[in-house]
């Protein structure tokens, strides 16, 4: 026989807590479902609000501890806090008073406040979103309470409560899921049709050497879907390419604006595969990719505005409040682009639609996405991450990462990628050396021919190993002037991680 709930100390408290948590969760789920109607998940907006309002040292600490997972972690934290708070309220809520009405009023006030603080516009969609975010927890409160209201619980009460909790959750989640899909459909039709649209003039990216395509190896050119993303916000800012303009202004003789079509049809467009790596990437980490980008040299765009003699910085400003500065002297480099395309299409929203900066050889943080304004300045500008303690120049530290391993009979092959922001253009990495004996001896790997001047080099190294299945592999790159990549391990902050990548592989 199972004990009655009444015999379990705190059984009622637990059920009340569960009831309250379910209501909090229903509210969060309602907000998530309504997200497409109000331009995003309300909980994400709370998390963003916390980041924006918290002092720089705190957000920096969070990023330091959690890397760029700080924001998703914060979102999860807000969800837990909401669910925990509603559980507590349910536990202390006086029996006998009308819980359903309280939930309706409470969720109405909370949702209204959230939308108001988030600057959501007054529209039919907002009203529908509000209804969903209120009905979801209210319905949960209406359908769950039977077992909670009674103080003298019995085993059947408890079972009834749990089976109700199950039924209501399943029915609720199914209907919320269906609503979410419906809302996404509705909004998709309104979203910018030019995101990810085929580019007319684009040529296909250079192909890699198939000999380097084996188990675990990345493609020579990363597809847009496979390219990592790192954002300060949880979602890309919605931008309408019809009304968007790129304004070039500040300390210039001839400020001007370009429309989206004018940018796409710019006569000096180029295509440029470029490796991008996030400054927060750990040695061997995944925040690295080589996109096939197209764009217009920044020098052409800024040059046409006739920058002042006294100009020092070119600042790119983005819709999400992000900014980055590069010294005016640097823009003479023809390879710094305002990119509008990735992989033969216009940019995907998450990679910066309609336009983003590309600064080859620098860390990704220099490459502002969702640009709407280029400002030439006569004073130094403090950029987003710089203000949070990261390196201003952000030149990529020479790196060699181990990626793949494969066995063919007695033969084992390991491989990976190498890259460095040495700013000399092509052929910056002269060699990659590999050790499979813990650093005792080093052998030179075979390098793939360079697919483009600013693209990583893939490498591979084969050796005979009939009697072993596990290998510790170490890799290090050699720069063009013979300098061996530093062995010293440093943290990503402030200037990017350094050190040799050491990892264990089990080739299959």
Residues of the shown chain interacting with Mo ion in the complex, contacts defined by CB under 5 A? 230, 278, 364-365
Distance of CA 498 to CAs 184, 225, 265, 492, Å?
Answer: 42, 27, 40, 8
Distance of CA 137 to CAs 29, 87, 101, 149, 306, Å?
Answer: 9, 13, 11, 17, 58
Out of 364, 416, 420, 499, point to the residue binding ligand MTE (CB under 6 A).
Answer: 364
Task: Verify binding: residue 381, ligand MTE, rule CB under 6 A.
Answer: no
Task: Verify binding: residue 456, ligand MTE, rule CB under 6 A.
Answer: no
Which among 20-28, 83-91, 364-372, 423-431 is the span making contact with ligand MTE, rule CB under 6 A?
Answer: 364-372
SS3 state of residue 443: strand
Q: Which is nearer to Mo ion, 75 or 288 (CB)?
A: 288
Chain CA centroid to CA 378, Å: 32
Question: Minimum distance from CB of 329 to ligand MTE (Å)?
Answer: 22
Q: Which is nearer to Mo ion, 365 or 473 (CB)?
A: 365
Task: Verify binding: residue 288, ligand MTE, rule CB under 6 A.
Answer: no
Q: Which is nearer to Mo ion, 74 or 376 (CB)?
A: 74
Distance of CA 51 to CAs 70, 324, 392, 506, Å?
Answer: 10, 19, 21, 41
- 10 Å CB burial of residue 3 (0-12, 13-18, 19+) is exposed
C-alpha to C-alpha distance for 456 and 146, rounded to whole angstroms: 63
Task: Verify binding: residue 231, ligand MTE, rule CB under 6 A.
Answer: yes
Sheet holding 256-259, edge to edge: 256-259, 245-250, 371-377, 313-318, 323-327
Q: Which is nearer to ligand MTE, 155 or 494 (CB)?
A: 494
Question: Minimum distance from CB of 442 to ligand MTE (Å)?
Answer: 31
C-alpha to C-alpha distance for 389 and 60, rounded to whole angstroms: 7
Q: Which is nearer to Mo ion, 15 or 388 (CB)?
A: 388
Task: Verify binding: residue 227, ligand MTE, rule CB under 6 A.
Answer: yes
Of 417, 505, 400, 499, the closest CA to residue 463 belongs to 505
Q: Which is nearer to ligand MTE, 111 or 222 (CB)?
A: 222
Question: Minimum distance from CB of 342 to Mo ion (Å)?
Answer: 17
Question: Minimum distance from CB of 287 to Mo ion (Å)?
Answer: 7
Sheet holding 501-505, edge to edge: 443-444, 429-435, 471-479, 501-505
Question: Minimum distance from CB of 446 to Mo ion (Å)?
Answer: 30
The size of the interface with ligand MTE (CB under 6 A), counted in residues, is 19
Question: Minimum distance from CB of 231 to ligand MTE (Å)?
Answer: 4
Out of 213, 247, 320, 382, point to the residue binding ligand MTE (CB under 6 A).
Answer: 320
Question: Minimum distance from CB of 274 to ligand MTE (Å)?
Answer: 11
Q: Which is nearer to Mo ion, 176 or 318 (CB)?
A: 318
Task: Verify binding: residue 232, ligand MTE, rule CB under 6 A.
Answer: yes
Sheet holding 411-419, edge to edge: 399-408, 411-419, 457-464, 446-447
Task: Verify binding: residue 493, ligand MTE, rule CB under 6 A.
Answer: no
| Partner from ligand MTE, Mo ion, none contacting 351, C-beta within 5 to 8 A by type | ligand MTE
| Residues forming beta bridges with residue 245, ordered by sequence position | 259
Out of 32, 244, 340, 370, point to the residue binding ligand MTE (CB under 6 A).
Answer: 370
Beta-carbon neighbour count of residue 182 at 10 Å? 12
Report the chain's C-alpha Rg in angstroms. 28
Out of 46, 365, 400, 434, point to the residue binding ligand MTE (CB under 6 A).
Answer: 365
Out of 37, 70, 296, 367, point to the residue binding ligand MTE (CB under 6 A).
Answer: 367
Q: Which is nearer to ligand MTE, 32 or 228 (CB)?
A: 228
C-alpha to C-alpha distance for 199 and 400, rounded to whole angstroms: 33
- What is the crossing angle of helices 11-34 and 155-188, to 10°? 10
Q: Whats the size of the chain, residue-wise? A: 508
Out of 212, 228, 401, 500, point to the residue binding ligand MTE (CB under 6 A).
Answer: 228
Out of 41, 115, 212, 322, point to the residue binding ligand MTE (CB under 6 A).
Answer: 322
Question: Minimum distance from CB of 57 to Mo ion (Å)?
Answer: 19
Question: Minimum distance from CB of 66 to ligand MTE (Å)?
Answer: 14
SS3 state of residue 362: strand
Task: Verify binding: residue 106, ligand MTE, rule CB under 6 A.
Answer: no
Q: Which is nearer to ligand MTE, 236 or 404 (CB)?
A: 236
Which residue sits closest to ligand MTE, CB atoms considered?
364
What residues contact residue 294 under an 8 Å CB cut-off, 6+ apart? 199, 202, 269, 270, 271, 272, 339, 340, 341, 342
Element (H, E) at 110: helix 99-117
Beta-carbon neighbour count of residue 126 at 10 Å? 16
C-alpha to C-alpha distance for 4 and 159, rounded to whole angstroms: 10
Question: Minimum distance from CB of 364 to Mo ion (Å)?
Answer: 4
Judged by phi (left if over 0) then psi (alpha if -120 to 50, else beta), residue 321 lies in left
Q: Which is nearer to ligand MTE, 286 or 334 (CB)?
A: 286
Distance of CA 184 to CAs 34, 122, 430, Å?
Answer: 9, 19, 49
Task: Verify binding: residue 368, ligand MTE, rule CB under 6 A.
Answer: yes
Out of 158, 345, 351, 501, point to the residue binding ligand MTE (CB under 6 A).
Answer: 351
Kindly list the residues in this chain that would bind ligand MTE in the complex (CB under 6 A): 227-232, 276, 278, 318, 320, 322, 351-352, 364-365, 367-370
């Amino acid at each position: 026989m199972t004990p009655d709930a009444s015999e379990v100390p705190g059984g009622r408290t637990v059920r009340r807590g569960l009831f309250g948590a379910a209501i909090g969760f229903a509210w969060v789920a309602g907000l998530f479902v309504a997200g497409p109607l109000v331009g995003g998940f309300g909980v994400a907006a709370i998390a963003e609000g916390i980041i924006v309002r918290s002092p720089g040292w705190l957000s920096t600490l969070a990023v330091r501890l959690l890397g760029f997972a700080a924001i998703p972690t914060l979102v999860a934290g807000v969800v837990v806090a909401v669910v925990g708070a509603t559980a507590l309220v349910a536990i202390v809520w006086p029996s006998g008073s009308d819980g359903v009405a309280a939930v309706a009023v409470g969720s109405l006030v909370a949702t209204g406040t959230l939308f108001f603080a988030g600057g959501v516009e007054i529209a039919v969609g907002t009203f529908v979103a509000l209804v969903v975010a209120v009905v979801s927890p209210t319905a949960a409160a209406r359908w769950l309470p039977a077992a909670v209201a009674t103080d003298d619980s019995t085993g059947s009460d408890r079972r009834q409560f749990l089976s109700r909790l199950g039924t209501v959750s399943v029915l609720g989640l199914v209907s919320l899921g269906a609503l979410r899909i419906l809302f996404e459909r509705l909004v998709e039709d309104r979203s910018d049709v030019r995101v990810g649209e085929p580019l007319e003039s684009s040529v296909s990216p250079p192909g890699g050497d198939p000999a380097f395509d084996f188990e675990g190896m990345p493609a020579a050119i990363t597809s847009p879907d496979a390219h990592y993303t790192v954002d300060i916000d949880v979602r890309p800012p919605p931008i309408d390419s019809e009304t968007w303009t790129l304004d070039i202004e500040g300390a210039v003789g001839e400020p001007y604006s370009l429309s989206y079509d004018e940018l796409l049809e710019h006569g000096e467009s180029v295509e440029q595969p470029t490796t991008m790596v996030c400054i927060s990437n750990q040695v061997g980490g995944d925040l690295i990719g080589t996109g096939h980008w197209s764009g217009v040299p920044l020098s052409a765009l800024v040059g046409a505005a006739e920058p002042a003699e006294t100009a020092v910085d070119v600042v790119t400003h983005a819709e999400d409040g992000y900014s980055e500065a590069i010294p005016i002297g640097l823009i003479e480099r023809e390879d710094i682009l305002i990119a509008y395309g990735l992989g033969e299409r216009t940019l995907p929203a998450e990679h910066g639609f309609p336009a983003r900066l590309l600064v080859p050889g620098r860390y990704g943080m220099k490459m502002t996405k969702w640009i709407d304004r280029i400002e030439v300045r006569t004073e130094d500008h403090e950029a987003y991450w710089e203000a949070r303690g990261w390196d201003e120049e952000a030149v990529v530290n020479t790196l060699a990462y181990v990626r793949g391993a494969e066995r063919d009979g007695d033969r084992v092959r390991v491989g990976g990628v190498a890259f460095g922001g040495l700013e000399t253009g092509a052929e910056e990495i002269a060699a990659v050396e590999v050790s499979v004996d813990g650093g005792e001896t080093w052998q030179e790997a075979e390098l793939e021919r360079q697919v483009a001047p600013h693209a990583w080099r893939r490498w591979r190294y084969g050796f005979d190993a009939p009697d072993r299945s596990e290998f510790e592999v170490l890799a290090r790159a050699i720069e063009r002037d013979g300098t061996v990549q530093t062995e010293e391990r440093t943290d990503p902050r402030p200037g990017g991680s350094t050190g040799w990548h050491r990892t264990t592989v089990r080739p299959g």
